[in-house]
């Protein structure tokens, strides 16, 4: 699809929730500026991303029925304009079942409830899945303490809206939620078309993969400490891959949080990542984050980063 037509489509999708009905919509947005030092000698200042999100709920006489969400991201110093989550969701009674159609985050592992896109210490999906957002149809909901989600999508990733290869990707998660803990089991199978900037594409030299994945994720809240863990293993074509992640966030005060991460991933040799940092809320909605992440094993690379992140939301 022509780039300018794709952009027009994205703008229309984002504006849909606002224009479809007067009132009751929420607009939110943010900006993510970073200084990154790689290996001690390469420095970069960039606007990593800015985004605008619109959300609108449509109700009938029984209750909320349709939720429209549109988000556009301006990434890499505005060089990339692309859709983020942009979908229509039909909500069944009390949300016990929902059908979502559009461009959404895949229901796999920690991703289903924890989006680390705008954090310095990220989760495992760039290495473990190579796909995060995709266009398709998803059935999701809950029953008692259990929740479920199953998605059939195009496997073409976040930068494409059309199915360029006619292959499909099936993703699903079954979760259990206790008072301070949630546990999930996930699976993914199908063809994934890798993005140009994909880490997996860089490692393997392949532009697409037939992926099979199984994952287990856990999130535990214990006072000021939040622990998140994930174990993922499977196959890329016929090659066995696997690894895991452990993240810990510890609140020292309402504004200051310490962050730690360890991740391991085995594909073309083992890669280890160990990171630490902090997040400080300067004023409402404005955060300063500093983190250092060291990779060792297959390669030895240190990345230090400082980030200012601003977010807002407004009803109208």
Partner 1 sequence: MLLRLRHILNLRSSFSLLILAGAVFWAATGYADVCVWRDPERTMQKIFPQARDYETIERKISGEKAGVIENRLGKPLDPGEREDWIFYKIRGNKGEPLGYVLTDAEKGEYGAIEIVMGITPEGKVAGVYIQRARERDKEFKSRDFLDQFIGKTKENPLHIGKDIKAEGSLPAEQVSFAARKMLIMYDELRKEK
- Contact positions toward partner 1, by CB under 8 A? 2-5, 7-8, 11, 23-24, 26-29, 31, 50, 52, 57, 59, 61-64, 74, 78-79, 81, 93-96, 113, 142, 177, 221, 223-226, 251-254, 257, 284-285, 311-315
- Closest distance of CB 5 from partner 1, Å: 8
Whole-angstrom Cα distance, residue 236 to residue 224?
38
Whichever of 9 and 137 has its CB closer to partner 1, that residue is: 9
Whole-angstrom Cα distance, residue 308 to residue 289?
6
Whichever of 29 and 126 has its CB closer to partner 1, that residue is: 29
Q: Identify which of 214, 244, 219, 247 has the alpha carbon closest to the alpha carbon of residue 230.
A: 244
Tally of helices (H runs) and strands (E runs) in the chain? 3, 17
- Closest distance of CB 70 from partner 1, Å: 13
Q: How many CA atoms lie within 13 A of 296 on its CB side?
A: 4
Angle at 133 between CA 303 and CA 89, to 5 degrees: 140
Whichever of 171 and 182 has its CB closer to partner 1, that residue is: 182
DSSP assigned state of 203: H
CB 24 within 8 A of CB 57: yes
Whichever of 39 and 224 has its CB closer to partner 1, that residue is: 224
Whichever of 40 and 285 has its CB closer to partner 1, that residue is: 285
Whichever of 296 and 316 has its CB closer to partner 1, that residue is: 316
- Closest distance of CB 247 from partner 1, Å: 15
Cβ contacts of residue 16 below 8 Å, gap of 6+? 54, 56, 68, 70
- Closest distance of CB 94 from partner 1, Å: 5
- Closest distance of CB 34 from partner 1, Å: 16
- Closest distance of CB 45 from partner 1, Å: 16
DSSP secondary structure, 71-131, as one string:
EEEEETTTTEEEE-SEEEEEE-GGGSEEEEEEEEE---GGGGT---TTSSS--SHHHHTS-
Whichever of 196 and 284 has its CB closer to partner 1, that residue is: 284
- Closest distance of CB 257 from partner 1, Å: 8
CB 272 within 8 A of CB 295: yes
Whichever of 50 and 152 has its CB closer to partner 1, that residue is: 50
- Closest distance of CB 211 from partner 1, Å: 29
Whole-angstrom Cα distance, residue 226 to residue 220?
6
DSSP secondary structure, 279-299, as one string:
EEEEETTEEEEEEEEEEEES-
């Amino acid at each position: 699809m022509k780039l300018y037509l794709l952009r027009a489509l994205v703008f229309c999708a984002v504006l849909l929730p606002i224009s479809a009905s007067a009132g009751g919509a929420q607009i939110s947005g943010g900006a993510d500026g970073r200084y990154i030092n790689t290996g001690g000698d390469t420095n970069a200042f960039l606007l990593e991303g800015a985004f605008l999100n619109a959300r609108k709920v449509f109700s009938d006489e029984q209750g909320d029925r349709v939720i429209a969400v549109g988000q556009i991201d301006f990434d890499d110093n505005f060089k990339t304009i692309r859709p983020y989550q942009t979908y229509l969701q039909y909500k069944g009674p009390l949300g016990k079942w929902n059908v979502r159609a559009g461009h959404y985050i895949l229901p796999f592992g920690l991703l289903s409830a924890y989006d680390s896109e705008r954090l310095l210490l990220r989760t495992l999906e760039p290495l473990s899945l190579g796909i995060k957002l995709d266009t398709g149809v998803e059935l999701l909901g809950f029953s008692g303490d259990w929740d479920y989600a199953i998605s059939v999508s195009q496997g073409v990733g976040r930068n494409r809206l059309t199915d360029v290869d006619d292959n499909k990707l099936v993703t699903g998660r079954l979760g259990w939620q206790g008072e301070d803990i949630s546990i999930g089991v996930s699976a993914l199978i199908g063809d994934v078309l890798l993005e140009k900037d994909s880490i997996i594409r860089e490692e393997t030299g392949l532009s697409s993969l037939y992926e099979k994945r199984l994952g287990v994720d856990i999130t535990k809240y214990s006072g000021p400490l939040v622990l998140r863990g994930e174990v993922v293993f499977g196959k890329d074509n016929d090659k066995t891959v696997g690894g895991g992640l452990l993240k810990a966030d510890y609140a020292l005060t309402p504004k200051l949080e310490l962050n730690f991460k360890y991740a391991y991933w085995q594909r073309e040799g083992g890669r280890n990542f160990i990171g630490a940092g902090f997040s400080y809320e300067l004023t409402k909605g404005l955060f300063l984050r500093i983190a250092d992440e060291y990779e060792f094993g297959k390669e030895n690379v240190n990345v230090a980063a400082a980030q200012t992140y601003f977010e807002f939301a407004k009803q109208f």
